[in-house]
């Protein structure tokens, strides 16, 4: 069965009927049939398909990439793509047998207008999909006979080969119709990397990449970080910096032109990234590399021999980046220090006045004209950079104030407060009044509805939106608006992200360190109390209905994923493993879902007079922990921290 990642490949019965109709009425020309043994040491890479193609791979595990989508194949895989698609096949074992069928489709004059209308709905000749056939051995036989007949070259044999093509199409659509096939699942992390490598110079919306695979932005982030060891944003910045470094070394473009060409919002953003990663400005980087690449020089005492290509013997490469000068080894650090000293000396000599610490002077007038326009001095550039920063979000790049003073927060108030920022305006937290764990920190904050008209009256310089994005476009016209897809982010990802938004990176690290320490202390306390192996059930219980929480619920995520407490087997298989937020369980079967301890979420009364309820061992032994709305409605780190204390203290008290 296909999962959500393959949702974009599912064909409805109406679509299948339309595609079959188009195939029936179109003129199909079989162009070629080929076979290739693709070896792991010689993979097929970026083959541009000259026509529409079917590719059948078998005999081993492989990674099949078509355009920017990478599929994982186990033993058999049928892939289809249109003309101009880029195909790559990388076997994971020794080799993979690969059949390729090239064909061309044309519309007959008689049905042309009708078919063109259908092609606007769905075009089967350019569709991209991959799946494991229901009868892979039968398809293997068809492809072998198709290739044999085609290679014989006789008209009758090639006619038979074409008949197998139609049998193949019929078999594929029958598989689609059954709905029981397994689609080749795209590898979102690999495909996202390919996409970023190709489009890094353009504005990137990570959610759009995630939408290609039918998954959330948070899922894509987690998959990418697991595979690449860094976040999507970190990889994108790295890719853009690499491009900027290349242009700084090898072109004479201005800093502004290089910033734009590398995908940065402006030269200020490029300047900030260079200061962060290289501890120098782009201009300094350019000057240092220009000197390090220079192979000729002037020596007043002697001249080196000229060997047609360059002056010989002045500087020779030694090991990894070290250099020898006049026969003595110098480390990279010493070379860099000497280079910087030389630059300062040349600058002072060229100006005829003592060097000014407030800026740098370029000794090359031509270069000065091109490169110093966006950053006359480091001090001025720093002041310009301090005004705004660019944050990449699922909604695109957003410029935010470097030190926001008037922040309005929709939902994750506790995260913002934990980072040392008191919001000007808060929404939704007001519903819990003084019961919210951060209530004392927001006594001066203005409680508003998150409607554009109300927000506008506060004249904010930053809006943090997390509950829903229906007002995002209107709010973003009032002030820079950051949308936090909190349900798709781990606590660590979310705090780091909000820390970047508020320019509170160090505070974010400290908050997360303290939070991680609290969780470890809690787990140790539970272990010492002999509670490591007990089972926990949480939910909202009443006479009418019982909603059992899974690991996606705020409390469930904390208990099951954070504290590593165990769920009863029925809760695990029916709710957690199926990725449900809640499970609606009737009172008659409730006992099968109840663990050693119960956590009653919300402010509703439990069904104390119900016979089934009273028969539960957890109820009989009074092992029920009540978690009110103030501790269960939010996922912010302050509320989660208070929730840990509440649950652990209650469990320890009951164990004693």
The predicted structure's pLDDT at residue 228 = 84
The predicted structure's pLDDT at residue 2 = 33
Convert 174-213 into a string of H (helix), E (strand) and C (coil). HHHHHCCCEECCECHHHHHHHHHHHHCCCCCCHHHHHHCC
The region of weakest confidence among 191-200, 213-222, 606-615 is 213-222
The predicted structure's pLDDT at residue 392 = 92
The region of weakest confidence among 215-219, 288-292, 367-371, 416-420 is 367-371
Higher pLDDT, residue 276 or 184: 276
- The DSSP H or E segment spanning 21 is helix 13-25
Angle between helices 267-277 and 255-262 (to 10 degrees): 80
Residue 30 has pLDDT above 90, yes or no: yes
Tell which residue, 608, 616, 545, 615, has the closest CA to residue 582: 545
The predicted structure's pLDDT at residue 73 = 84
Q: What is the pLDDT of residues 544-602, one digit of tens each?
A: 778 898 888 888 888 998 899 999 999 999 999 988 888 888 888 889 999 999 998 87
Domains 4-183 and 515-655 share a fold: no
The distance in angstroms from the start CA to the end CA of the chain is: 48
Q: What is the pLDDT of residues 375-410, one digit of tens each?
A: 334 444 443 445 889 999 999 999 999 999 999 998
Distance between CA 29 and CA 506 in Å, rounded? 64
Contact 359, 378 (CB under 8 A): yes
Rounded to 5 degrees, what are φ and ψ at 299? -125, 120
Helices (H) and strands (E) in the chain, counts: 25, 25
Residue 529 has pLDDT above 60, yes or no: yes
Distance between CA 310 and CA 615 in Å, rounded? 92
- Architecture of the domain spanning 395-503: 3-Layer(aba) Sandwich (3.40)
Distance between CA 511 and CA 419 in Å, rounded? 7
User: pLDDT band at residue 506, thresholds of 50, 70 and 90?
Assistant: very high
Contact 43, 95 (CB under 8 A): no
| Topology, domain 4-183 | Jelly Rolls (2.60.120)
| Core vs surface per residue 109-135: b (16+ CB within 10 A) or e | eebeeebeebbeebebbeeebbbbbee
Q: What is the pLDDT of residues 238-270, one digit of tens each?
A: 899 999 999 998 888 999 899 989 988 888 888
pTM of the shown model:
0.44
Contact 419, 507 (CB under 8 A): yes
Q: What is the pLDDT of residues 446-489, one digit of tens each?
A: 888 777 877 877 889 999 998 767 788 888 888 999 999 887 88
The predicted structure's pLDDT at residue 292 = 58
Mean pLDDT of 76-94: 89
Contact 184, 75 (CB under 8 A): no
Q: What is the pLDDT of residues 592-649, one digit of tens each?
A: 999 999 998 877 677 777 888 888 999 989 999 988 877 876 788 998 999 999 999 9
The predicted structure's pLDDT at residue 10 = 61
The predicted structure's pLDDT at residue 515 = 92
Exposed, middle or buried, 480 (CB in 10 Å: 0-12/13-18/19+)? Answer: buried
Residue 55 has pLDDT above 90, yes or no: yes
Note the CATH number of domain 515-655.
Answer: 3.40.50.1980
Residue 15 has pLDDT above 90, yes or no: no
CA 39 vs. chain centroid, Å, equals 31
The domain ranges of the chain are: 4-183, 188-229, 395-503, 515-655
The predicted structure's pLDDT at residue 423 = 93
User: pLDDT band at residue 366, thresholds of 50, 70 and 90?
Assistant: very low
Distance between CA 635 and CA 647 in Å, rounded? 15
SS3 359: coil
Tell me how far CA of residue 82 lies from CA of 79, 129, 130, in angstroms. 11, 10, 13
The region of weakest confidence among 108-117, 138-147, 583-592 is 108-117
CA-CA-CA-CA torsion sign (624, 625, 629, 634): negative
The predicted structure's pLDDT at residue 509 = 94
Q: Please provide the average confidence, as pLDDT, over all residues in the chain.
A: 79
């Amino acid at each position: 069965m296909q999962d959500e990642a393959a949702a974009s490949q599912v064909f409805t019965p109406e679509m299948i009927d339309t595609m079959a109709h188009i195939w029936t009425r179109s003129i199909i020309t079989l162009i070629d049939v080929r076979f290739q043994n693709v070896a792991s040491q010689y993979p097929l890479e970026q083959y541009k398909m000259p026509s529409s193609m079917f590719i059948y791979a078998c005999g081993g595990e492989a990674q099949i990439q078509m355009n920017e989508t990478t599929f994982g194949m186990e033993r058999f895989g049928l892939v289809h793509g249109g003309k101009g698609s880029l195909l790559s096949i990388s076997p994971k074992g020794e080799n993979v047998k690969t059949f390729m069928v090239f064909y061309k489709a044309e519309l007959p004059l008689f049905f042309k207008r009708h078919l063109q209308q259908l092609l606007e709905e769905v075009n089967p000749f350019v569709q991209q999909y991959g799946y494991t056939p229901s009868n892979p051995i039968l398809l293997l036989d068809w492809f072998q006979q198709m290739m044999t007949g085609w290679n014989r070259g006789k008209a009758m044999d090639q006619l038979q080969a074409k008949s197998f093509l139609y049998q193949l199409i019929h078999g594929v659509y029958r598989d689609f119709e059954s709905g029981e096939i397994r689609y080749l699942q795209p590898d979102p992390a690999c495909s996202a990397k390919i996409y970023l490598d190709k489009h890094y110079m353009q504005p990137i919306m990570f959610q759009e990449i995630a939408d290609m695979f039918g998954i959330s932005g948070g899922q894509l982030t987690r998959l990418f970080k697991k595979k690449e060891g860094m976040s999507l944003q970190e990889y994108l910045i790295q890719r853009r910096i690499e491009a900027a470094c290349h242009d700084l070394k090898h072109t004479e473009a201005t800093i502004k032109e290089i910033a734009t060409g590398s995908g940065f919002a402006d030269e200020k953003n490029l300047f900030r990234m260079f200061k962060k990663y290289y501890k120098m400005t782009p201009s300094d980087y350019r000057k240092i590399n220009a000197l390090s690449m220079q192979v000729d020089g002037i020596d007043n005492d002697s001249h080196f021999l000229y060997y047609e290509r360059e002056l010989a013997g002045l500087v020779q490469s030694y090991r990894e980046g070290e250099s020898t000068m006049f026969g003595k080894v110098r480390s990279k650090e010493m070379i860099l220090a000497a280079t910087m000293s030389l630059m300062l000396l040349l600058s002072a000599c060229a100006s005829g006045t003592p060097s000014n610490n407030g800026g740098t002077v370029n000794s090359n007038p031509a270069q000065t004209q091109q490169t110093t326009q966006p950053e006359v001095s480091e001090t001025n550039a720093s002041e310009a950079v301090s005004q705004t920063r660019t944050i990449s979000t699922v909604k695109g790049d957003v410029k935010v104030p470097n030190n926001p003073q008037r922040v309005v927060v929709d939902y994750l108030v506790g995260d913002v407060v934990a980072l040392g920022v008191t919001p000007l305006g808060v929404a939704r937290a007001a519903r819990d009044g003084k019961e919210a764990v951060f209530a004392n920190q927001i006594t001066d904050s203005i409680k508003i509805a998150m409607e554009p008209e109300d927000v506008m009256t506060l004249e904010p310089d930053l809006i943090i939106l997390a509950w829903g994005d229906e007002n995002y476009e209107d709010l973003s016209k009032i002030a820079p608006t950051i949308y936090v897809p909190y349900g798709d982010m781990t606590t660590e990802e979310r705090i780091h992200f909000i820390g970047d938004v508020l320019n509170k990176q160090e505070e974010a690290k400290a908050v997360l360190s303290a939070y991680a320490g609290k969780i470890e202390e809690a787990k140790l306390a539970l272990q010492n109390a002999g509670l490591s192996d007990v089972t926990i059930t949480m939910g909202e219980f009443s006479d009418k209905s019982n909603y059992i929480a899974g690991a996606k619920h705020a409390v469930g995520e904390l208990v099951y994923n954070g504290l590593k407490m165990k769920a009863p087997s029925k809760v695990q298989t029916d709710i957690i493993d199926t990725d449900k937020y809640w499970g609606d369980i009737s009172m008659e079967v409730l006992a099968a879902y109840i663990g050693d301890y119960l956590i009653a979420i919300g402010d509703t009364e439990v069904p104390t007079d119900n016979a089934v309820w009273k028969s539960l061992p957890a109820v009989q032994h009074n092992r029920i922990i009540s978690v009110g709305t103030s501790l269960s409605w939010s996922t912010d780190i302050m509320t989660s921290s208070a929730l840990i204390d509440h649950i652990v203290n209650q469990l320890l008290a009951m164990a004693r």
